[in-house]
Amino acid sequence: MGIATESQQENKAPSESTAAEKKRWSLNDFDIGKPLGRGKFGHVYVAREKKSSQIVALKVLFKEQLKQSQVEHQLRREVEIQSHLRHPNILRLYGYFYDQKRVYLILEYAAKGELYKQLQNCKYFSERRAATYVASLARALIYCHGKHVIHRDIKPENLLVGAQGELKIADFGWSVHTFNRRRTMCGTLDYLPPEMVESVEHDANVDIWSLGVLCYEFLYGVPPFEAKEHSDTYRRIIQVDLKFPPRPITSSAAKDLISRMLVKDSSQRLPLHKVLEHPWIIQNADPSGVYKC
Ligand SMILES: Nc1ncnc2c1ncn2[C@@H]1O[C@H](COP(=O)(O)OP(=O)(O)OP(=O)(O)O)[C@@H](O)[C@H]1O
């Protein structure tokens, strides 16, 4: 079972084949380099596709572990969804292959690694940096929603940074095609909107809530509803108990945007195209869409 890589403009796939010609990948197609990190189900290595010399990230997952955790279905959905998305702020999944013990995902290489680590190092981001990231995420989510895909798990751990400093949404493990409204409970509590915490129906507007949470975390270094106990986070989300600390000093325009995204009634959240038109984004986001450190 090889995967076809369709021809496209940006983030060119290694040894791109035409749509008609399906490429069957194998480990022999790659030179494996240093490990980039490890996740719950396996390891990620930098690799070079021999024919094109393109650098990719090769994610190696152990079938046994996937089976034990009953996530094969989730992985299949992730691959199906992510391999069809083409956006500069969405990590490309070029293809996959497998052998007896392992599944290999061929991913776009994000040279600057995890955004989470950068946020930990700086504690919080400048308004210019935060707004640039929020704008690129809003554009990527508009693209996803246009394809009836909701991500449902937007958080710093799922964001990688490319060589130019551009943000890349990775990890579509919780994403869904949303022709129907969803009722499933998923994701880490901190980033979940009230309707998902309460397990009522939810739609693409869940991603607006998560973007609001992320914007807050970029500016203050912690998510807005954080609490020691799970039950307190739960209560704070349900009540939309949103408080802005006095430090770091943040503009009222930033607080205004966050307050418009973190609205309990999902239909009243600021639509993503309006997020892009919000004065705080207009004034602060770098028009190139890239934050240069
Ligand atoms: N495309 C990539 N480019 C560069 N580094 C990557 C890439 N994908 C993963 N990494 C690095 O490898 C690490 C492990 O990635 P992986 O996706 O397996 O796990 P995770 O998302 O961190 O954890 P989990 O398995 O819990 O979802 C990441 O934390 C990141 O540092």
Q: If you compute the radius of gyration of the chain from its CA atoms, what whole number of angstroms results?
A: 19
Nearest CA to ligand 1 atom 9: 44
Cα–Cα distance, 159 to 116 (Å, whole number): 7
Residue in the structure block whose two tokens are 């430090």: 247
The pLDDT value given to residue 148: 86
Residue type, 116: Y
Report the chain (293 residues): mean pLDDT per 10 consecutive residues. Answer: 35 56 85 94 95 97 92 89 94 95 96 95 96 97 91 88 94 64 59 73 85 97 95 95 96 98 95 97 92 77
Question: CA torsion angle for 129, 147, 274, 259 (degrees, to 10)?
Answer: -70
Would strands 102-108 and 55-62 be described as parallel, antiparallel, or unpaired? antiparallel
Residue in the structure block whose two tokens are 């089976």: 67
pTM: 0.87
Q: Which atom of ligand 1 is nearest to the CA of 38?
A: 14
The pLDDT value given to residue 177: 65
Would strands 149-150 and 159-161 be described as parallel, antiparallel, or unpaired? unpaired
Regarding the beta carbon of 37 and ligand 1, being less than 6 Å apart is answered yes
Question: CA torsion angle for 179, 201, 236, 40 (degrees, to 10)?
Answer: -50
Q: Which atom of ligand 1 is nearest to the CA of 42?
A: 18
Q: How far is CA 96 from CA 19, 70, 105, 137, in A?
A: 16, 19, 5, 26
Nearest CA to ligand 1 atom 18: 39
Nearest CA to ligand 1 atom 23: 39
Regarding the beta carbon of 216 and ligand 1, being less than 6 Å apart is answered no
- 286 part of the active site: no
Residues 6+ apart with CB under 8 A from 8: 16, 86
User: Rounded to the nearest whole angstrom, what is the distance from the C-alpha of residue 39 to the centroid of ligand 1?
Assistant: 6
